[in-house]
Amino acid sequence: MKIRLGTFNLFQFVEPPYSWYIKKDKFNKLQWQEKTQWIKNQIVKMNCDVIGFQEVFSRNALKEIVNDLGFKYFETTDIAKTSKENSNIYISTTVAIASKFPISHIQDVKIHIPSIKKHNYEGFFKFARIPIKATIVLPNEQEIAVYVCHLKSNRLNEFEYTFNQNDSLEHKKNLVDESLKNKYSSSLKQRLCEASSLFFDIKKEKNKPCVLICDLNDKEFSITIDALCNNKYHDDKRKESLILHDVYNQHEKTIYNPHPEQKEIKRTPTSFFAGKGNVLDYIFISKEFNKKNKNCIAKVSDYIICDKHLQENPDGSILKSDHAQVVCELTFK
């Protein structure tokens, strides 16, 4: 048995006559028709059984699209809010999940209070976008927990550090601790609290395989990924060990027409800012899908980036998306 899961940031999915954030930002009927048709085409290309969506304002419009494409099950955990001054202007967004397999129940992701205190978060904490935690029943009767999230936006200030694979966790923490201590990046602090809460919620699911589908709003090798995946981030006394694994690192990469001096494959960006590509969209899996685990129940058999629209226009189009779509295929034993 194979299943395919994907992540899809819809980029201001707002059905007219509604606007997003300010009155003038809205689609006319023809633009909306073009955008929704493109979304339908992308979903068909992704060929997924489960998709996590971000930037969902118009819940019912999305539900209608996915139902038409064979996704019988659709859930959100929040409703996009409108302005008190103008009920036609949305001021918040949500995430959603669509599945061709039954969703047996939806649970809240609990905020991990010790992590909020550890990061010295001031004031009342809540997720920027409430995550989804859905239990999905596969055709082989296996239950899996699928999380969908969209973490706090990266404000791209100078203290939103860019790390590489050679940077140690200790080095990252030293830099970031200084930034948080001096209140240089409230967005990063929020994101780390969100990632930590997800970490502890997923860690409790000891007997249920987990998949996390997300727009992380942070880059490859970021400390946000450590907060999300690495035990040592939360406890210095522990060795580095992961509760979640990036599916990109689980898939065998193919090099076509390799150059003699080719040393490594460069990861395909999923979003661009000021002409520079970044990986912001991820799918993470628990140990039950880790190819190094001798007791794994399934392995990553494919990993796809749907980015033709970004190749044509790296900044993306409001009538399409400013993110690539990421797809992971799992093959069960």
Cα-based distances in Å from 236 to 169, 170, 230, 239, 243? 10, 9, 11, 8, 16
Quick check: 284 and 246 in contact, CB under 8 A? yes
Give, for all 333 residues of the chain, the pLDDT tens digit.
999 999 999 999 999 999 999 999 999 999 999 999 999 999 999 999 999 999 999 999 999 999 999 999 999 999 999 999 999 999 999 999 999 999 999 999 999 999 999 999 999 999 999 999 999 999 999 999 999 999 999 765 656 788 999 999 999 999 888 888 888 888 999 999 999 999 999 999 988 999 999 999 999 999 999 999 999 999 988 888 999 999 999 987 765 555 555 556 789 999 998 888 999 999 999 999 999 998 999 999 999 999 999 999 998 899 999 999 999 999 998
Strands 298-306 and 73-76, bridge-based pairing: unpaired
Q: Count up the domains in the chain and report the number.
A: 1
> Where does the chain have alpha helices with state H?
29-46, 59-68, 113-118, 169-181, 186-204, 223-229, 231-234, 308-312
What is the rounded CA–CA span in Å between residue 108 and residue 27?
33
Q: How many CB atoms lie within 10 A of CB 124?
A: 6
**64 exposed, middle or buried (CB, 10 Å; 0-12, 13-18, 19+)?**
middle
3-state secondary structure 82-103: ECCCCCCEECCCEEEEEECCCE
Provide the 8-state DSSP code for 112: -
Q: Is 323 helix (H, G, I), strand (E, B) or coil?
A: strand
Task: Write down the residue that tokens 């205190």 correspond to.
Answer: 117
What is the rounded CA–CA span in Å between residue 154 and residue 281?
13
Closest CA to 80 of 24, 172, 14, 125: 14
pLDDT tens profile 105-164 = 999 999 999 999 999 999 999 999 999 999 999 999 999 999 999 999 976 565 678 899
Question: Quick one: how far is CA 314 from the chain centroid?
Answer: 19
**Rounded to 5°, angle at Cα 53 from 48 and 59:** 115
Domain CATH code at residue 16: 3.60.10.10
Quick check: 244 and 286 in contact, CB under 8 A? yes
What is the rounded CA–CA span in Å between residue 5 and residue 2?
10
pLDDT tens profile 74-92 = 999 999 999 999 999 999 9
- Which residue range is the domain that position 156 belongs to? 2-332
